[in-house]
Amino acid sequence: MWKLESSSLDLTVLPVEESLYTLANGYLGIRGCFEEGYPQHYTSIRGTYINGFYDLVEAKYSEKLFGFPEMQEKMPNLMDVQTIEIYLDGECVSLFNGNHVNYKRTLYFDEGYAERSFEYQTQKGKSASIRFRRMVSFQIKELFAIEVKIKYEGEILVKSYMNGEVSNYTDAFDPRVGEHAKLLDWKSSNLIDGRYMIITARTKQTDYEVGCAVYHHCSEKDAFVEIAGEQEPKMRAVYSTNGRMTLTKYAAYSHSRHNQEPVLHRILDIIKKHSIRSFDEHLAIQRLYLENFWHHSDIQIYGNDLIQQGVRFSLFQLLQSVGKDGLTNIAAKGLTGEGYEGHYFWDTEIYILPVLQLVQPEIAEKLLIYRHSILDHARKEARILGHKRGVKYPWRTIAGRECSTFFPAGTAQYHINGDIAYGFIQHYLQHEDLDFICRYGAEVIFETARLWLDVGHFHDGKFMIHNVTGPDEYSCIVNNNYYTNAMARYNMEWAVKFYEMLKLENPQILEEITRKIQMVETEIDEMIEASQNMYLPYDEVLKIHKQDDAFLDKALWDFEGTPEEKYPLLLYYHPLTIYRYQVIKQADTVLAHFLLEDFSEEASIRNAFDYYEKVTTHDSSLSSCIYGIMASKCGYYEKAYDYFMETVRLDLDNTHGNTKDGLHIANLGGTALSVIFGFAGYRIKNEGIALSPWCPQNWSGYGFRLIYRGRKLCVKVTDYLEIELLEGEKLQLKVYGRQYELEKVLKIPLEGLKRDDQSCNI
Amino acid sequence: MWKLESSSLDLTVLPVEESLYTLANGYLGIRGCFEEGYPQHYTSIRGTYINGFYDLVEAKYSEKLFGFPEMQEKMPNLMDVQTIEIYLDGECVSLFNGNHVNYKRTLYFDEGYAERSFEYQTQKGKSASIRFRRMVSFQIKELFAIEVKIKYEGEILVKSYMNGEVSNYTDAFDPRVGEHAKLLDWKSSNLIDGRYMIITARTKQTDYEVGCAVYHHCSEKDAFVEIAGEQEPKMRAVYSTNGRMTLTKYAAYSHSRHNQEPVLHRILDIIKKHSIRSFDEHLAIQRLYLENFWHHSDIQIYGNDLIQQGVRFSLFQLLQSVGKDGLTNIAAKGLTGEGYEGHYFWDTEIYILPVLQLVQPEIAEKLLIYRHSILDHARKEARILGHKRGVKYPWRTIAGRECSTFFPAGTAQYHINGDIAYGFIQHYLQHEDLDFICRYGAEVIFETARLWLDVGHFHDGKFMIHNVTGPDEYSCIVNNNYYTNAMARYNMEWAVKFYEMLKLENPQILEEITRKIQMVETEIDEMIEASQNMYLPYDEVLKIHKQDDAFLDKALWDFEGTPEEKYPLLLYYHPLTIYRYQVIKQADTVLAHFLLEDFSEEASIRNAFDYYEKVTTHDSSLSSCIYGIMASKCGYYEKAYDYFMETVRLDLDNTHGNTKDGLHIANLGGTALSVIFGFAGYRIKNEGIALSPWCPQNWSGYGFRLIYRGRKLCVKVTDYLEIELLEGEKLQLKVYGRQYELEKVLKIPLEGLKRDDQSCNI
């Protein structure tokens, strides 16, 4: 199952499909809009985006306190090249007016393109066959191409547009969608050499240039051609002929933020160089790229096509969304929409990186290198927040500035520091690449660890962290959030470990780093002291870790009295109301138990799952995958599968109702995590990797590959766990807690799920 | 000492004096600006305001969550009539260019006007004598008048303006000042009957009309007159003559918010009727009004003129600022400036009402009637905040809407409910007016009390209130703030008491009220249960009530490392930084101990003072008076006097640096409280009144009057406490905790302050 298909023309489905059918390559993203457009009253977000390209808009406050961000970075919607209109004997083709049959759209995960085709009948009863194909090239990152193929016994006229007057989408009711803004000023439209259409624009505040060059190739040599719109915001190319036409529209986008080369040169260069290849030739290259990707990264589900589709969709969209250049990262909505304004969050390290570092470690490294690149911003933010040392990473950002304007559920999430450190540490555990730590990790880990020393303090002999917000944004500004304290402990523990390691292995680098950040050895002693005495709040009666000092003292939310339509709560209740109750937006303590399972007893982890699950709304898309993974760990197989189903279908079924604003990228990562960390029970720790697999009963099995400390492994779970060492030296690993040596193949019967368990019909 | 004087022309002092020399009557307020203006680079806030008159402006958020106020009420600056220019033989008179001697300005507390006079020397060396006098009438609330008297051997030309193009002041750096906005649209300028200049305008959003009529009376019958500017935003009247001129400018302001009568009719009517009286005749009426006020309200300080001046200034400005119509209240800056945008806060009930109800009970009642009038707004706000019953008063408002856009230090201050209830209860205790409770108090007290049932919950048998902010805005969104819990307990206790009282005394009214608000008797049982089991957090080691559950666990603020110029902290530190430490903006637990001293042991009150004082910055002007009062209670006489000095001189010496934005009205109330509740130790409780006076050593004494349950009392404190019953039946009262009967006069020697105490040189 390598594709997604639809034939819906429903006005509520189409904006969702714009997100689902997005084509992107981590640099350029184009939503799956219809070339010919929609009826006027349809909602459409006709979007083209470049990862990391941003403008600044003024942050708005009626009461602005010290240190609140003054400007917000925002990903602009770029000049649109999607629009192509078809006229058959003068009749405008539309799926919404005329008659048509066999309408279908398809997104191919293995070939990396989207197709839309239908037979159209004109009012006079004549038939036409029309097919659109489009792709965003993985090989040439600036390149987008649309091919339209028309057969019609009569006059075919095609109008193809470039539109330089664009703005971003807005929804006043939903705080998760950014506010309306026109971020781009159109600058110029030119026709070069009589065939290259060029539009340039500049961002209003950052004054970055962005340009797009378009070239059309028409199959019919004798077609009439007219290109118009020079010095106008909208340019147009018209092609007309009879009988048949295949028009290929090549577009190249570039910008000045990350390129020295003048934008105009670059896009002209690219369009000239790459428009000589046919659409099919580009497709062939695309296929090779994806073949390589899937070879390493596919997660196979045996015996369940629907799930297989969902899992591959997730992996494909991750690949499409993730920045691969070390200058950019992966936004909460990737390049599939404008929700969260193109900002990067902790989603990267906690939901996406753990997948990528197993199967695409080079991309994973680029994401971490990006974090290293914004250290100076994080340093500045730490000073704004009154910390004398260390860094404080922005809760949401593109270029590094803190862009969160509601600090209780933004800037206050200090755990982002621990999350980023965790990303570096896990990457190290997986690949044992101390050189990477020397070049990027150590500085980040030291600087994030130092901040905890400044944020926290000792009270009654315990190290406490007051006044932060954990992952659960339904309790803000709390004391001793378990997740935060645990992550801080891990962060500091590893700062100490790396310090000692570098002291032995590479004292010169250590000296360079500590000199640069002016860290002294007594700080390492402080970290030892603080991490060893970290306060991890625990309730002796419930035998669970408390989400924070006060969480369990609060009244329980009245779930019975809360009607379905009042979810997500944040859209229907004042934060003060929500904060007052035991109600959780997303996995918090339960997430900590996933990431740092050795910090708790097994029993307490299970108790916590049982307790917190009852008060969790999963109003965030970052929740169900974690609960699913932890249900697997606890042996709650039915639950695990239910959560997995919620995860894998979240965007495909638009269960959160806002997929039109973009895909929930963290949840896509969560889908892969659910299989590998959930069903297969994969863990990576200092002492090596471990597996504790089970298999859902309506699958015949599943399998995936992974890279571990220079080795390539293939894991298959059917009635057996089968681990094959494809490349590299033999290794020790744990399965169900027992040590094994893997030389070539290990085959171990499954435990855990009892097939005769009556309570489990999955 | 019945006046304030100055002869400063310093550019930093003048904006402060604009506030200090404001003239107002609780309805109309006009800042003390120079008629002839200032040099261009001088800061001036040329303000004219009407209490309760407001426009709406959009509240701005980059991330707006559910229930955040969408609009904010804002007091507009009104059309300006202050400007009068004088030309002597064509030379424009200014205190900043020409030569002058004997410049002096004076504000008369006993006569209710301001004067500004100087001798001016022209460049040709000729002398002129110039005197401005101005008043805002207490008798005719719409009326403002300026009289300018000029003697000059030469040509005198006076240009007098009305300006309809006005806007509000802005300071981007200071969140305590509102944002720039042009709130008024000029509508018309007309000359009626050839002499009445009229300008009308409308507020942009609320579409209220406001109008001003001006009439000039010139002493010189043969003066040349010219009036210009019909249909222009700025009107002008020019008078010229030789030798001498006294020009009186009468202005009448009215608006459509609280008046049915067309604005134009009303202002014309007033100006016609009252401009026939001379300035001196109006002054005579003003003097009578103030004579009566001071007779009841003066606080006399014997033997210290500077203090006497400060105390009388405070009382005079309170009188000038307070709304007296039941439709309006008293703004945080009164009518003296635009800080806090004309909003009413808890300041009313906690800092101002306790003074007024002693000496001006009718005005005090009007303030409470206003609170009753906005119950429906408070009901609506409670629903927005997710409460099924009760009311939630707005933290800041003019007409009743919640106007706080930063909820952690605004809407979250639920204690406002308890504060308002406290106001009604104290008023009842002072005047035993059950009829007032029936008409206004009961509904307010029941509805505020009910809210606590919904906000709080039982945990381990104790009633807890989570997730609120106490008076100290340096710790926001906390659990079990002692102040809040204590006020909630008192609120509910008295709801129960009044319920029982009305059941006996006026069951019909009780039935009406409970039916109206749909309250059932089981709610009274709930209130008994909740108030009896109210959790009041206490630290067994320090033996103090904890400000909130977590306050004492936090790290101590680094006061030594905080330079002077970093105060007030809120302007220099991110709220997250501030919240993390034990640092207090203003009296919180200490304030609760003042208002509800019977909820704690004497020793714990003293311990709390000792502890919290060390971590309090007094960054709010609402702090020093309370610490002073409680220092008196604790017998810390030197401290008490120091705090009093800070209080009494706060605006006069501009110690908070922002007096230019308006006077700190609560602190002015606090000045009077400091004498009566601090030095004299006055308390009013269910069982009656009590005094525990002492006298600062560099005073020879002090005295004041008060009204208590139909009686009039005169209190003098010298070497003795002397209480005289001026009117009414004999009564029981307590002095230094001992019971006395007052039939005519009581004379009791002072206790407490030991005059031979070496540590006390005050």
Print the SS3 string covering B136-147.
Answer: ECCCCCCEEEEE
State which residues of chain B have pLDDT below 70: 172-180, 752-762
Write the CATH number for B84.
2.70.98.40
B347 is in an annotated binding site: yes
Residues B421 and B291 in one domain: no
Task: Read off the DSSP letter of residue B351.
Answer: I
Strands (E), B78-126: 84-88, 91-92, 99-108, 113-121
Tokens of B725: 């019953």
Among B449, B465, B448, B446, smallest CA distance to B457 is for B465
The Cα of A568 is separated from the nearest Cα of chain B by a number of Å equal to 11
pLDDT at A426 over 50: yes
Residue type for position A375: L
Of B295, B313, B339, which one is at a domain's C-terminal end? B295
User: How far apart (Å, rounded) are the C-alpha atoms in residues A178 and B62?
Assistant: 8
Name the residue of chain A whose CA is nearest to B459's CA.
A553
Contact state of B479 with A553 under an 8 Å Cβ cutoff: yes
Does residue A251 lie within any of the structural domains? yes
pLDDT at A754 over 60: no
Write the CATH number for B553.
1.50.10.10
CB-CB: which of A412, A466, A477 is closest to B554? Answer: A466
Question: What is the pLDDT at residue A703?
Answer: 98
Question: What is the pLDDT at residue B29?
Answer: 98
Does residue A159 lie within any of the structural domains? yes
- Counting other chains too, the contacts that A118-126 makes at CB distance below 8 Å and 24 or more residues apart are A120/A88, A120/A93, A122/A88, A122/A89, A122/A91, A122/A98, A122/A154, A123/A91, A123/A98, A124/A89, A124/A91, A126/A88, A126/A89, A126/A152, A126/A153, A126/A154
Contact state of A62 with B408 under an 8 Å Cβ cutoff: no
Decide: helix, strand or coil at residue B624.
helix
> Quick one: B755 exposed, middle or buried, by C-beta within 10 A (0-12, 13-18, 19+)?
exposed
Sign for the pseudo-dihedral over CA of B546, B547, B551, B555: negative
Q: What is the pLDDT of residues A635-686, one digit of tens each?
A: 999 999 999 999 999 999 999 999 999 999 999 999 999 999 999 999 999 9
User: How far apart (Å, rounded) are the C-alpha atoms in residues A39 and B97?
Assistant: 70
Bridge partners of B150? B130, B245
Angle, helices B624-634/B665-673, rounded to nearest 10 degrees: 10
Neighbours of B22 (CB within 10 A): 27
B452 is in an annotated binding site: no
Question: What is the pLDDT at residue A756?
Answer: 40
CA A558 to each of CA A146, B92, B386: distance values in angstroms, whole numbers, following the listed order: 52, 73, 12
Does residue B141 lie within any of the structural domains? yes
Does residue A223 lie within any of the structural domains? yes
Residue type for position B442: A
DSSP code per residue over B212-255 = EEEEEEES-TT-EEEEE-TTSSEEEEEEEEEEEEEEEEEEEEEE
Residue type for position B92: C
Question: What is the pLDDT at residue B579?
Answer: 97
User: How far apart (Å, rounded) are the C-alpha atoms in residues B362 and B365?
Assistant: 5
Does residue B352 lie within any of the structural domains? no
Helix (H), strand (E), coil (C) string for A133-162:
EEEECCCCCCEEEEEEEEEEEEEEEEEEEE
Among B108, B669, B624, B109, smallest CA distance to B358 is for B669
A278-306 burial code (b ≥16 CB/10 A, e <16): ebeebbebbeeebeebbeebbbebeebee
Does residue A352 lie within any of the structural domains? no
Question: What is the pLDDT at residue A317?
Answer: 98
Task: Read off the DSSP letter of residue B195.
Answer: T
Question: What is the pLDDT at residue B752?
Answer: 63
Name the residue of chain B whose CA is nearest to A62's CA.
B60
Residues of chain A contacting B62 with CB distance shorter than 8 Å: 59-61, 72, 179, 405-406
Among A629, A689, A682, smallest CA distance to A430 is for A689
Bridge partners of A448? none
As for how many domains chain A has, the answer is 1
Name the residue of chain A whose CA is nearest to B179's CA.
A62
Question: What is the pLDDT at residue A178?
Answer: 56
Radius of gyration of chain B (CA): 27
Which residues lie below 8 Å from residue B212, measured CB to CB, with a gap of 6+?
A: B78, B79, B81, B162, B198, B199, B200, B251, B252, B253, B267
Q: What is the mean pLDDT of residues A362-381?
A: 98
Contact state of A62 with B63 under an 8 Å Cβ cutoff: no
Question: What is the pLDDT at residue A175?
Answer: 61
Identify the band that residue A170 occupies on the pLDDT scale cut at 50, 70 and 90: confident
B205 is in an annotated binding site: no
User: How far apart (Å, rounded) are the C-alpha atoms in residues B245 and B473?
Assistant: 54
The Cα of B735 is separated from the nearest Cα of chain A by a number of Å equal to 44
CB-CB: which of B407, B555, B576 is closest to A576? Answer: B407
Residues B101 and B245 in one domain: yes
- Select from A467, A569, A583, A585 the residue whose CB has the most chain B CBs within 10 Å, as the one to mutate to test that interface: A467
Residues B290 and B416 in one domain: no
Question: What is the pLDDT at residue B178?
Answer: 56
Q: What is the mean pLDDT of residues A608-630?
A: 97
Q: What is the pLDDT of residues A516-530, one digit of tens each?
A: 999 999 999 999 999
Residues B97 and B220 in one domain: yes
Residues of chain B contacting A539 with CB distance shorter than 8 Å: none
Contact state of A550 with B550 under an 8 Å Cβ cutoff: yes
Question: What is the pLDDT at residue A222?
Answer: 92
Residues of chain B contacting A549 with CB distance shorter than 8 Å: 549-550
Quick check: A81 and A251 in contact, CB under 8 A? yes
Decide: helix, strand or coil at residue A646.
helix
Question: What is the pLDDT at residue A177?
Answer: 57
Residues B111 and B260 in one domain: yes
Residues of chain A contacting B385 with CB distance shorter than 8 Å: 574, 576-577
Residues B290 and B425 in one domain: no
CB-CB: which of B65, B464, B476 is closest to A553? Answer: B464
Residues B436, B440, B443: CA angle, nearest 5 degrees: 130
Among A163, A112, A114, smallest CA distance to A140 is for A112
Bridge partners of B462? B459
Task: Read off the DSSP letter of residue A99.
Answer: E
B585 is in an annotated binding site: yes
Query: How far is CA A539 from its chain centroid?
Result: 35
Decide: helix, strand or coil at residue B525.
helix
Quick check: B428 and B490 in contact, CB under 8 A? no
Of B617, B652, B675, which one is at a domain's C-terminal end? B617
Residues of chain B contacting A66 with CB distance shorter than 8 Å: 570-575
Q: What is the pLDDT of residues B104-121, one digit of tens each?
A: 999 999 999 999 999 999
The Cα of A47 is separated from the nearest Cα of chain B by a number of Å equal to 22
User: Which pairing describes strands A184-192 and A196-203: parallel, antiparallel, or unpaired?
Assistant: antiparallel
Please identify which of the residues B17, B35, B402, B473 carries the catalytic annotation.
Answer: B473
Task: Read off the DSSP letter of residue B687.
Answer: T
Contacts across the A-B interface (CB distance below 8 Å): 150
Tokens of B328: 């309006």
Question: What is the pLDDT at residue A759?
Answer: 44
Contact state of A553 with B476 under an 8 Å Cβ cutoff: no
Residues B469 and B593 in one domain: yes
Neighbours of A730 (CB within 10 A): 10
Neighbours of A515 (CB within 10 A): 9
Which residues lie below 8 Å from residue A465, measured CB to CB, with a gap of 6+?
A: A414, A452, A455, A456, A479, A480, A481, A484, A485, A488, A535
Identify the band that residue A98 occupies on the pLDDT scale cut at 50, 70 and 90: confident
Angle, helices B442-455/B521-532, rounded to nearest 10 degrees: 60
> Quick one: B460 exposed, middle or buried, by C-beta within 10 A (0-12, 13-18, 19+)?
exposed
Q: What is the mean pLDDT of residues A376-399?
A: 97
Contact state of A574 with B385 under an 8 Å Cβ cutoff: yes
Residues of chain B contacting A571 with CB distance shorter than 8 Å: 66
Write out the catalytic residue numbers of A.
473
Decide: helix, strand or coil at residue B258.
coil
Does residue B363 lie within any of the structural domains? no
> Quick one: B290 exposed, middle or buried, by C-beta within 10 A (0-12, 13-18, 19+)?
buried
CA A39 to each of CA A96, A98, B77, B269, B737: distance values in angstroms, whole numbers, following the listed order: 7, 12, 49, 61, 83
Which residues lie below 8 Å from residue A272, measured CB to CB, with a gap of 6+?
A: A196, A215
Tokens of B112: 């209710």
Does residue B133 lie within any of the structural domains? yes
Question: What is the pLDDT at residue B757?
Answer: 46
Of B617, B632, B658, which one is at a domain's C-terminal end? B617
Among B707, B629, B721, B720, smallest CA distance to B675 is for B629
Bridge partners of A121? A99, A127
The Cα of A85 is separated from the nearest Cα of chain B by a number of Å equal to 38
- Domain range for residue B411? 407-617
CB-CB: which of A63, A467, A570 is closest to B580? Answer: A467
Residues of chain B contacting A546 with CB distance shorter than 8 Å: none
CA B137 to each of CA A293, B274, B282, B297, B320: distance values in angstroms, whole numbers, following the listed order: 84, 11, 8, 19, 10
Question: What is the pLDDT at residue A173?
Answer: 63
